[in-house]
Amino acid sequence: MKIHAEAFRSFATQVLQRLDVPRQQAADTAAPLVWASLSGIDTHGVRNLKSYYVDTVVDGQIKAGAQFNIEFETPMSARADGDNGLGLAAGGWGMRLAIEKAVNTGIGLVSVRNSNHLGALGYFAELPVEHDMIGICMSGKLYARGNFRGMAPVFSVQPMFGTNPLAVAIPCGEEPNYMLDMATAVVPVNRVIKAKELGQPIPLGWCLDANGLPTTDPAAAKVYLPLGSTRETGAHKGFGLAMLVEVFTALLSGGFADTPEGYDQNKIAHFFGAIRIDLFRDPADFKAAMDAMMRALRSAPPAPGHERVILPGDIEHETAQQRRQSGIPLTEQEVSELRWLSDHYDVPLELMS
């Protein structure tokens, strides 16, 4: 079964509104899910609507009618309270604020505390691109007293960070935009969970087990290795990037805060940045040079056994072009969850076979 992107957008928006999520926040939550599923990032799309967002609003973990609140700002920056609302809605709000500031001053940087899961960060990073801006998005979580899974500091096996992702989008002219959307761990948690569901092993270099030993068993994965995998091949760099994400999200926003039990971070924090290209040069000239760089890299001869060079964003761009026509493919589990939501909230669901 499949679903058309616009049918899913409308469906998800309506379901969320049934939970008393305000219209704008419901649309802002649906949009990155549509974007992820269109782009082939299936771990962050349709799959998460019920379990990540609907269920958590229903059970009260996430506030349906959150009031995003600017706690401090300058013409080019802000820190805000996400009011424990939907992370995806805080994301749309936060990046629009960053873009507005960049339109006015050249740069907009917004750090948001007290929020929730931000999904596919690439969606947010891409929003400034149509304004001839570079877009930056990060999401960070620090467990000051450890967690049952996550990234551990170098030479420790106690998980302390989430997989703290980071995305950057940069406008091109005729070429697909540059789009880097990465966990600072080797892989995001959902990649390992998906392998577990499929009964597949995971490669060495992704995770360690509870004893700190390398594992290929997704069920045993506890420590998510930082990009670089081992100290010898640069894991300290991946961990350093995870800390950087933490600073821009939770430290600049005040999300990592002093409590009676000491400093800790209770919810997820985000960062949204927009930088106008014309702070440096004419955007048309810049985009022509971007196109030339992309083409130069693409013209490198492929390695034996490979057909072509793949640049960041290529696969997602091509998948989106195809799925916009043919629809978003759904797993049985996804179909079953969408049907349940349709029945339960009385929202019509239009699937394609």
CA dist 141 and 85 (Å) reads: 16
Could you say which of 6, 292, 333, 352 contacts a second copy (CB under 8 A)? 292
Of 13-21, 28-36, 291-299, 342-350, which segment contacts a second copy by CB under 8 A? 291-299
**Which residue, 119 or 254, has its beta carbon nearer to a second copy?**
254
By CB under 8 A, the residues from 124 to 143 that bind a second copy are 134, 142
By CB under 8 A, the residues from 140 to 199 that bind a second copy are 142, 144-146, 152-158, 160, 168, 170, 178, 180, 182, 186-187
Q: What spatial distance separates the first Cα and last Cα of the chain, rounded to whole Å? A: 4
CB of 341 to a second copy, least distance (A): 34
Q: Is 106 in the site for a second copy (CB under 8 A)?
A: yes
Could you say which of 40, 82, 128, 238 contacts a second copy (CB under 8 A)? 238
Q: Is 212 in the site for a second copy (CB under 8 A)?
A: yes
Three-state DSSP class for residue 2: strand
Locate 6 and state its tokens: 């616009």
CA dist 200 and 213 (Å) reads: 19
Q: Is 206 in the site for a second copy (CB under 8 A)?
A: yes
CB of 217 to a second copy, least distance (A): 17
Sheet-wide strand order for 223-224 = 214-215, 207-208, 223-224
CB of 95 to a second copy, least distance (A): 17
**Which residue, 243 or 351, has its beta carbon nearer to a second copy?**
243
By CB under 8 A, the residues from 17 to 76 that bind a second copy are 72, 74, 76
Angle between helices 23-38 and 5-18 (to 10 degrees): 150
Q: Is 262 in the site for a second copy (CB under 8 A)?
A: yes
Could you say which of 70, 210, 219, 279 contacts a second copy (CB under 8 A)? 279
Q: Which of 112-140 are b and which e, b meaning 16 or more Cβ less than 10 Å from the residue's Cβ? A: bbbbbbbbbbbbbbbbbbebbbbbbbbbb
Q: Please give the size of the binding site for a second copy, defined by CB under 8 A.
A: 87
By CB under 8 A, the residues from 305 to 344 that bind a second copy are 306-312
Q: Is 232 in the site for a second copy (CB under 8 A)?
A: yes
Q: Is 284 in the site for a second copy (CB under 8 A)?
A: no
**H or E element at residue 23:** helix 23-38
CA dist 115 and 84 (Å) reads: 5
CA angle 96, 134, 183 (to 5 degrees): 90
Could you say which of 61, 130, 197, 203 contacts a second copy (CB under 8 A)? 203
CA dist 127 and 269 (Å) reads: 19
CB of 224 to a second copy, least distance (A): 12
Strands (E), 172-267: 178-182, 207-208, 214-215, 223-224, 256-259, 262-265
Could you say which of 3, 54, 62, 252 contacts a second copy (CB under 8 A)? 252
Q: Is 275 in the site for a second copy (CB under 8 A)?
A: yes
